[in-house]
Amino acid sequence: MSILLNKDSKVLVQGITGRSGLFHTQQCRDYGARIVAGVTPGKGGVHIEGIPVFNTVEEAVHYTGANVSMIFVPPPAAADAILEAADAGLELAVCITEGIPVRDMVLARRILDGKKMRLVGPNCPGVITPGACKVGIMPGYIHMPGKIGVVSRSGTLTYEAVKQLTEVGLGQSTCVGIGGDPIIGMKFIDVLALFNEDPKTEAVFMIGEIGGGAEEEAARWIRDNMKKPVAAFIAGVTAPPGRRMGHAGAIITGGKGRAEDKIRVLTECGVHVAPSPTRMGATMLAALQK
């Protein structure tokens, strides 16, 4: 078991004919993901790298039985691509696209309420169940199958965390990058709830950043519901206030969203917080031994 993805997941790629869409499709397939279809409007009927391409998601699902979508569609059409995936009855869409306007995402997110499809992202590294399936742009080689669930708002910092976990001998059940945008699909709590019920996951590592209140919200949920040990790291302890640190997500405004506050709340709620980004793996190990 694992969450969201397993070796039987059948993946279609929306925007497969774009440069990065195709590159990452190949990378995912090399890792072992079952890529069954591609979707690019106007290019239906061709094969690319042996993968059949369809005009619509609905068609692709009908002919291939795909249940997961990986989205590389450019920003102006990306929100529409998400909704198309939901309408076609997929279980999961992982949207890698960076730069979708907030107004589009507010509406898309609202339409997803009440639909069964889960959305991860946008602007995220994706989801990987090590040794089984990869739907995203993360480097596969740093991962190792195991018992730690990883959930993160960051991209490359997640790779750093995963590498440290692997180095201390802790493999991962599933790693989920939820993305750093203001409007996202699954939030920390949604992923934590799945890890809580997953028999394969024994503990969780969570990576947060300054800005917003999602980490505090997650901390309280962990205190009230989580049956497994949780360790965390919050980036941005030394970030200057009021500046946008490269992401739409990471900004401190009006004294809200500071790292110290997040660390305090997490600690109060029983989460083991890594004191330094060099000690993420070690902190997870310590949390397991308690």
Partner 1 sequence: MNIHEYQAKEILSAFGIPVPRGRVALTSDQVERAAKEMGGRCVVKAQIYAGGRGKGGGVKLVHHPEQAQELAKELFGRKLVTPQTGPEGLRVRRILVEEAVEIAREFYLSITLDRESSRYCLIASAEGGVEIEEVAQKSPEKIHVLSIDPFTGLRPYQARKIALALGLKGSVCEDCVELILNLYRACLEKDCFLVEINPLVVTKTGWLMAMDAKINFDDNAMFRHREYPDMLDYSQLDTLEINAGKYDLSYIKLQGNIGCMVNGAGLAMATLDVLHEFGGEPANFLDVGGGATREKVAEAFKIILQDGDVKGVFVNIFGGIMRCDVIAQGIIEAAGEVHCTLPIVVRMDGSKVEEGKQLLLESGLNVQIGENLGDGAERIVKMLG
Cβ proximity to partner 1, 85 vs 157, nearer residue: 157
Nearest to 79 by CA among 122, 116, 41: 122
Cα-based distances in Å from 81 to 29, 38, 88, 223 = 22, 13, 11, 36
Q: Does 153 bind partner 1 (CB under 8 A)?
A: yes
* In contact, 59 and 44? CB cutoff 8 Å: yes
d(CA 286, CA 105): 39
| Per-residue contact flags (x/-) with partner 1 for residues 64 to 83, judged by CB under 8 A | -----------xx-------
d(CA 176, CA 149): 8
The yes-or-no answer on residue 24 being catalytic is no
Q: Which of 163, 200, 258, 264 binds partner 1 (CB under 8 A)?
A: 163
Q: Does 107 bind partner 1 (CB under 8 A)?
A: yes
Nearest to 78 by CA among 190, 156, 179, 213: 179
Q: Which of 24, 143, 247, 272 is catalytic?
A: 247
Nearest to 96 by CA among 218, 190, 184: 184
Q: Which of 51, 92, 135, 157 binds partner 1 (CB under 8 A)?
A: 157
Q: Which residues within the stretch 210-269 sit at the binding site for partner 1 (CB under 8 A)?
A: 210, 212-214, 217, 233, 235-240, 242-243, 245-250, 254-256
Query: At closest approach, how far in Å is the CB of 64 from partner 1?
Result: 26
Q: Which of 103, 116, 145, 225 binds partner 1 (CB under 8 A)?
A: 103
Token pair 């205190």 in the structure block, residue: 223
Q: Which of 110, 116, 268, 270 binds partner 1 (CB under 8 A)?
A: 110
The tokens describing 189, both together, are 């709590």
Ramachandran angles phi, psi of 94, nearest 5°: -115, 110
Of all helices (H) and strands (E), which one includes residue 203?
strand 203-209
For binding to partner 1 (CB under 8 A), which residues are involved? 20, 24, 27, 75-76, 98-103, 105-107, 109-110, 125, 137-139, 141-142, 152-160, 163, 180, 182-184, 207, 209-210, 212-214, 217, 233, 235-240, 242-243, 245-250, 254-256, 276-278
Residues classed as catalytic:
247
